[in-house]
Structure 1
Amino acid sequence: MPRVVVFDEFGGPEVMHVVEEPILDPEVGEVRVRIEAFAVNPLDLMMRSGALPAPVSLPGARLGVEGTGVVDAVGPGVSGPAIGDPVILAAIPDASVRGSYAEYTTLPASRVIARPAGLDVTEAAAIWVGFSTAYGALVEKAGMRPGDHVLIGAASGSVGRAAMQIAHQIGAVPIAVTRHSAKTDDLLAAGAAAVIATDGMDIVEAVRDHTGGIGVDIVLDLVTGPGQQELVQAARPGATLVAAGFLDARPTPSPVGAPITIFSYRSFEHTLDAAVVKRMAAFLNAGVRHGALRPAVDAVFALDDVVEAHRHLEKGLHGGKKVVVAV
């Protein structure tokens, strides 16, 4: 029988284990996907540890919001994906039931997109969450345009790296923010037009230098918390800030400074919208085809080593790049 990763209680990586479960036939409007690889995301760690506010039914809960594979069965009423099509899982809102940490999963046909031909399996498993979050926040929410100066917090993470690539593809100017000056060269190589390392630079002063004293047009805050105030002060009057992360659990104070528009963003806002996903898929295909969009993969683990994959991510050994498990 097919194997699947489950956990029966909240806790550390060791609560996960591999079991065998019967293969399910897709229902009306669904497809079944034979998973080839999946990526490990911070959201998975939160779900496994019990830190996620959303309800998780124990025991036997699954994990995984990202992955790629091949359609191997279609349910009644499906007119899109066909058997044999390589796909990317575009949205798994009920990951504790249909998570991608498995050899097979079923999900609505509208929740998969065609896998771009230029991506290998490992890259395809690692690209969607970071790309769709960055695209949704910057393009759909903030309306990023060519020439915009975009300040990207936590730029060394997967969403930050995707944001820099997307900005370049549109013709905007990505300015990366990191806590460590040692990451400067890596971020420049990843696409940053400039890097602001807060261990030796003042964000507001550095932004003024890079924008001729005007300030940035868009801020992508992937951290939130008290540090958001500095990002607000680095923005020009009338700019847009999109808060799309939760790396700092401390309260985020009300902004003080120039009047700006602030949005709170979660990727399911758009990945459950078929019209937006269609635009995302077209943008992704164009970016891959032109070599502008590529995920940064740090390490690849086997399914039996999924516990070690979680430990690797928790210890920060991935350096902001994606951790992938090949099935």
Structure 2
Amino acid sequence: MQAWRVHDNGEPREVMRLDDVPDPVAGPGQLLLRVRAVNVNFPDALLCRGHYQVRPAMPFTPGVELCGEIVALGEGAQGEVGARVLATPTLPAGGFAEYVTVDAATVLPAPDALDDAQAAALHIGYQTGWFGLHRRAGLRAGDTLLVHAAAGGVGSAAVQLGKAAGARVIGVVGGEDKARVARELGCDVVLDRRGDNIVGAVKEATGGRGADVVYDPVGGDAFAQSVKCIAFEGRIVVVGFASGVVPQAALNHALVKNYAILGLHWGLYNTYDPASIRACHDELTKLAAQGTVKPLVSERVPMSGAADAVQRVADGVTTGRVVVVPGQPEGDAR
């Protein structure tokens, strides 16, 4: 089979190579999946660069979430051949491949309401949004939610989940094209970080109160702006640092303004509370069936375009989700 592999650390476009490798075989407790769609995530780029918290042995295949079809069961594994499932494969054998093995106990049923590419994009980003907004920040109907990078993969999920919860959503984006996407997603107010005074605009939009909840996958200047426009007893959810800058929080400022800084590492729920992952998925499946949430898939690219897709996500020039579809014909990116 073919699989994209990283042999050296560097920029994705330079270090990802499409190799011919042996077909994997499902071991005890595992499922063999035919990969139907792989969602591109920012951590895929960090893995290529060697900047992620996990450093798999080389050569490794990136691709941290996918929608696949069960084709074989290992000894003791439960599942139904032909079923569509969502999976987070264990590195070094990630999802940018034609086939992959996964732990049968960790797969989730793919929602019937979503196609393969949409389903592949529902898992990590939406689970992160749900846990961040509901379990960590306690988002309530009527709250004002400020979402940084609102037109991106992680941000777009938070916008939809915030609207589903009855929040008023302010989206921050970079550029008019992304502003248009944020409006289409349902943001009540859209701010362009390239020209708008974010702090002043948030205060104006909230009558001086500020945002009750901030969802920040960016870090850097985005975090610095957030602490200046957070409401009394507001909650800032730190999701990641796409800017490449990890901010240094001034805890005396958090004390004086009575706001909370909350970290969100979704993967730890797999370790400490795995049942909550399935409960969240059940809720997301209901929202998808209702049409309340629907992953914004801006591009579906063939297998040959995976390295370029990861690079463009890393460069921040994409909107929504870019999904690699191994069965898509060459030259049919859309």
TM-score, scaled to structure 2? 0.88
Correspondence 1:292-307 to 2 at 5 A: 292-307=292-307
**Residue in structure 2 matched with residue 139 of structure 1 by the alignment:** 134
**Residue in structure 1 matched with residue 80 of structure 2 by the alignment:** 82
* Contact 1:218–1:241 under 8 Å retained in 2: yes
Query: Is the counterpart of residue 120 in structure 1 residue 115 in structure 2?
Result: yes
* Contact 2:28–2:76 under 8 Å retained in 1: yes
Residue 159 of structure 1, CA deviation: 0.9
Equivalent-residue separation in structure 2 for 1:185 and 1:177 (angstroms)? 11
1:195–1:55 Cα change, 3 Å? same
Compare 180-189 and 138-147 and name the one that shifted more.
180-189
Q: Deviations over 1:71-93 (max 9, x none)?
A: 112223334x322210111x33x
What is the letter of the counterpart of residue 297 of structure 2? V
What is the letter of the counterpart of residue 32 of structure 2? R
Residue 292 of structure 1, CA deviation: 1.3
Structure 1 runs of 4+ off > 6 angstroms? none
**Residue in structure 1 matched with residue 36 of structure 2 by the alignment:** 36
1:70–1:205 Cα change, 3 Å? same
Q: Find 1:200's aligned residue among 180, 185, 195.
A: 195
Correspondence 1:163-202 to 2 at 5 A: 163-181=158-176, 183-202=178-197
Partner SS, residue 62 of structure 1: coil
1:315–1:242 Cα change, 3 Å? closer
* Contact 1:146–1:171 under 8 Å retained in 2: yes
Equivalent-residue separation in structure 1 for 2:109 and 2:292 (angstroms)? 18
What is the letter of the counterpart of residue 183 of structure 1? K
TM-score, scaled to structure 1? 0.90
Residue 316 of structure 1, CA deviation: 4.0
**Residue in structure 2 matched with residue 310 of structure 1 by the alignment:** 310
Compare 303-312 and 150-159 and name the one that shifted more.
303-312
* Contact 1:110–1:274 under 8 Å retained in 2: no
Give the aligned CA root-mean-square deviation in angstroms.
2.0
Q: Deviations over 1:39-66 (max 9, x none)?
A: 22221111112232422212x2111101
**Residue in structure 1 matched with residue 228 of structure 2 by the alignment:** 233
What is the letter of the counterpart of residue 168 of structure 1? K
* Contact 1:226–1:253 under 8 Å retained in 2: no
Partner SS, residue 140 of structure 1: helix
Query: Is the counterpart of residue 246 in structure 1 residue 221 in structure 2?
Result: no
What is the letter of the counterpart of residue 294 of structure 1? K
1:316–1:228 Cα change, 3 Å? closer
Residue 23 of structure 1, CA deviation: 2.8
* Contact 2:39–2:322 under 8 Å retained in 1: yes
* Contact 1:34–1:71 under 8 Å retained in 2: yes
* Contact 2:47–2:55 under 8 Å retained in 1: no
Query: Is the counterpart of residue 48 in structure 1 residue 48 in structure 2?
Result: yes
Equivalent-residue separation in structure 2 for 1:305 and 1:251 (angstroms)? 30
Residue 286 of structure 1, CA deviation: 1.1
Equivalent-residue separation in structure 1 for 2:314 and 2:203 (angstroms)? 35
Q: Deviations over 1:254-310 (max 9, x none)?
A: 232512111122221235542121122112111111111111222222212323323
* Contact 1:72–1:84 under 8 Å retained in 2: yes
Unmatched 5+ stretches in structure 1? none
* Contact 1:151–1:175 under 8 Å retained in 2: yes
Residue 183 of structure 1, CA deviation: 3.4
1:308–1:177 Cα change, 3 Å? closer
* Contact 2:150–2:171 under 8 Å retained in 1: yes
Partner SS, residue 32 of structure 2: strand
Unmatched 5+ stretches in structure 2? 327-334
Compare 33-42 and 207-216 and name the one that shifted more.
207-216
Partner SS, residue 61 of structure 1: coil
* Contact 2:151–2:179 under 8 Å retained in 1: no
Compare 188-197 and 271-280 and name the one that shifted more.
271-280
What is the letter of the counterpart of residue 17 of structure 2? H
